[in-house]
Amino acid sequence: MVITSAHEPDREARSPWSQHHVEQKVRLSRMQGRLDRTISIPGSKSFTNRALLIAALGRGTTVLRGVLQSDDSYWCMKALRALGVVIEDEGEHVTIHGNAGKWAVADASLYVGAAGTVARFLPAVLAVGKGEWLIEGSRRMGERPLTALLDALTGLGAVIQYGANPGSVPFTLLADGLNGGEVAISGAVSSQFISGLLLAAPYAKEALSIRIDGEVVQRDYVEMTLDMMRAFGAKMEVQEDGQVITVRPGVYEARSLCLEPDVSTCGYFWALAALTNGRIRIEGISAQTRQPDIALLQVLEQMGCTITSGADFVEVQGTDNLKGGFTVSMQRWSDQTLTLAALAPFADGPITLIDAAHIRHHECDRIAAICQELRKLGIEVEEHADGLTVHPGQPQPALLDPHDDHRMAMALSLIGARVDGVQMMDPGCVSKTCPDFYERWRDLGVGVDFDYA
Ligand SMILES: O=C(O)C1=C[C@@H](OP(=O)(O)O)[C@@H](O)[C@H](O)C1
Ligand SMILES: C=C(OP(=O)(O)O)C(=O)O
């Protein structure tokens, strides 16, 4: 019997770095033995795609270590190569020969896959050059918002010609350099609009002053962008409590950089220790990272786990009595909303996650999707406009649909590590950020069996 997913995956968006193309589902069974391990996690998606784009715009040869190999970074590298940038990649070690702000190919079709960091960053960095580019993306990317960024680019001289979806991909970008001056942009739906504009800003014809309208969701990602720009020599002034950022004209200078592990991915492994009363130490990361999802540790501590960290590791020791009965704002680190929602049934009181309305615009409508899947497991859930409340309960066997969303699959697989009978359709969807997630799960003692038909 062929199992069809209610949310048919967009397979075109899976890159050659993805795995499990033919597997229809994965059957999980609960962890055998006691989890007591030290592991490492691949590089951060957010650092990888920022570093690749900045290095491509830079002067000279940049060498990166710790580069993530997943769909999101694949589409970023592929687009840059289509623009004439020479990139040598040997696993997590990547060398980029920068173009100093001049795209060699002035007319190309560029595919961004399902990667928000490519869809929102690439148009801005293209707009500093001269050319005409068609930007296409996955089916879901055609529903994800882009207007705030594209309107700002239009205000700075770019011309956008939309296709079937006004305000999103596909569209054609006609550019002849980015004007300087002042521009206002909102980060209320996605911080990535601001990051995209910032990445391009040093290459504007004059200093560019970006005024952020109102609050920004996941603000730390904007700070991460500024940090990375500074690391490559960009100069800027930040005023009015971060709401106005003036970037001076300049060129990124090539450099060598070692990228941090992806803390959003680390979250599933720390949560696994929390859930199974095990111990996981992740090497190569410090609790002082700029990656916002590190805030998960505070909540795990509040739930009764013990956190130990040093300059180069973070360790979680789980508990056999996870505490619930609290509300958390997910505004700044909303990629972990699904992780917490998956832990919540095992806590001793309800957990409410709020301030995350923007995740309805991520890889799927994550609030609706997680409520739907938790209910299939027999868990009582209340859906709110900006989040959800999950009640304690004993999950029942169920076949789950990840809605073509890597984080849905990885988070819900936590439940399969604790109770038998959880099955997940389309296990290959994890390749957006962690192609070998299920191999890692199996290596830690969770039962993982793939079904091919
Ligand atoms: O800039 C980034 O690297 C990211 C910003 C966040 O997106 P939004 O600001 O669009 O929510 C986050 O969810 C995403 O995984 C990575
Ligand atoms: C929201 C996410 O991705 P994107 O970069 O596509 O926005 C995510 O990885 O959770």
Cα separation, 42 vs 71, whole angstroms: 13
**Do residue 247 and residue 362 come from a single domain?**
no
334 marked as binding residue: no
Ligand 1 touching residue 217 (CB < 6 A): yes
Q: Give residue 181 CA to ligand 2 midpoint distance, Å.
A: 30
Decide: 62 and 51 in contact? Cβ < 8 Å.
yes
Determine, yes or no, domain membership for 5.
no
Ligand 1 touching residue 72 (CB < 6 A): no
pLDDT means per 10 residues, the chain with 453 residues, are 65 95 94 96 98 98 98 98 98 97 97 98 98 98 97 98 93 98 97 98 98 96 98 98 97 98 98 98 98 98 98 97 98 98 98 98 98 98 98 98 98 98 97 98 98 87
Q: Give residue 221 CA to ligand 1 midpoint distance, Å.
A: 7
Determine, yes or no, domain membership for 311.
yes
**Do residue 329 and residue 390 come from a single domain?**
yes
Residue nearest to atom 10 of ligand 1 (CA): 190
Determine, yes or no, domain membership for 132.
yes
366 marked as binding residue: yes
CATH code where residue 359 lies: 3.65.10.10
Q: What is the helix (H) or strand (E) element at residue 416, kind and residue range?
A: helix 406-416
Q: What is the pLDDT of residue 2?
A: 45
- For β-strands 244-247 and 208-213, DSSP reports them as antiparallel
What does the pLDDT look like over 95-133, one tens digit per residue? 999 999 999 999 999 999 999 999 999 999 999 999 999
Given 206, 240, 258, which residue is the final one in a domain?
258
Ligand 1 touching residue 337 (CB < 6 A): no
CB neighbours (10 Å) of residue 293?
A: 24
Q: Give residue 450 CA to ligand 2 midpoint distance, Å.
A: 26
Find the catalytic residue in 335, 404, 405, 426: 335
Q: Which atom of ligand 2 is nearest to the CA of 116?
A: 6
Residue nearest to atom 1 of ligand 2 (CA): 362
Domains held by the chain: number:
2
Q: Which atom of ligand 2 is nearest to the CA of 114?
A: 6
Cα separation, 143 vs 250, whole angstroms: 35
Name the residue of 219, 330, 335, 355 whose CB sits within 8 Å of the most ligand 1 atoms, as the mutation to test its pocket: 335
Cα separation, 75 vs 137, whole angstroms: 10
Determine, yes or no, domain membership for 351.
yes
Ligand closest to Cα of 199 equals 1
Ligand 1 touching residue 342 (CB < 6 A): no
Output the ligand 2 site: residues, CB below 6 A: 115-117, 335, 362, 407, 433
**Do residue 417 and residue 378 come from a single domain?**
yes
Q: Which atom of ligand 2 is nearest to the CA of 46?
A: 5
Determine, yes or no, domain membership for 6.
no
Q: Give residue 177 CA to ligand 2 midpoint distance, Å.
A: 28
Decide: 427 and 28 in contact? Cβ < 8 Å.
no
What does the pLDDT look like over 122-173, one tens digit per residue? 999 999 999 999 999 999 999 999 999 999 999 999 999 999 889 999 999 9
Q: Give residue 362 CA to ligand 2 midpoint distance, Å.
A: 6
**Do residue 270 and residue 128 come from a single domain?**
no
Given 233, 258, 283, which residue is the final one in a domain?
258
Q: Which atom of ligand 2 is nearest to the CA of 407?
A: 10
Ligand 1 touching residue 190 (CB < 6 A): yes
SS3 for 338? helix
Ligand 1 touching residue 44 (CB < 6 A): no
Determine, yes or no, domain membership for 148.
yes
Q: 249 is written with which tokens?
A: 């004209």
**Do residue 270 and residue 332 come from a single domain?**
yes
**Do residue 202 and residue 149 come from a single domain?**
yes
**Do residue 86 and residue 213 come from a single domain?**
yes
Query: Torsion over CA of 368, 370, 373 and 375, rounded to 10 degrees?
Result: -80
Q: b/e per residue, 382-411, with b = 16+ CB within 10 A?
A: eeeebbbbbbbeebeebebbbbbbbbbbbb
Q: What is the pLDDT of residue 165?
A: 86
Ligand 1 touching residue 218 (CB < 6 A): yes
Determine, yes or no, domain membership for 2.
no
**Do residue 17 and residue 96 come from a single domain?**
no
Given 258, 293, 308, which residue is the final one in a domain?
258
In the residue annotation, 335 being an active-site residue is answered as yes
Taking alpha carbons only, the member of 2, 70, 33 closest to residue 435 is 70
**Do residue 238 and residue 191 come from a single domain?**
yes
Determine, yes or no, domain membership for 3.
no
Q: What is the pLDDT of residue 21?
A: 86
The boundaries of the domain holding residue 274 are 11-42+261-451
**Do residue 233 and residue 285 come from a single domain?**
no
**Do residue 21 and residue 90 come from a single domain?**
no
Q: b/e per residue, 163-198, with b = 16+ CB within 10 A?
A: eeeebbbbbebebebbebeebebbbbbbbbbbbbbb
45 marked as binding residue: yes
Q: Which atom of ligand 1 is nearest to the CA of 45?
A: 3
Decide: 444 and 424 in contact? Cβ < 8 Å.
no
**Do residue 98 and residue 149 come from a single domain?**
yes
Q: Give residue 195 CA to ligand 1 midpoint distance, Å.
A: 9
Residue nearest to atom 4 of ligand 2 (CA): 116
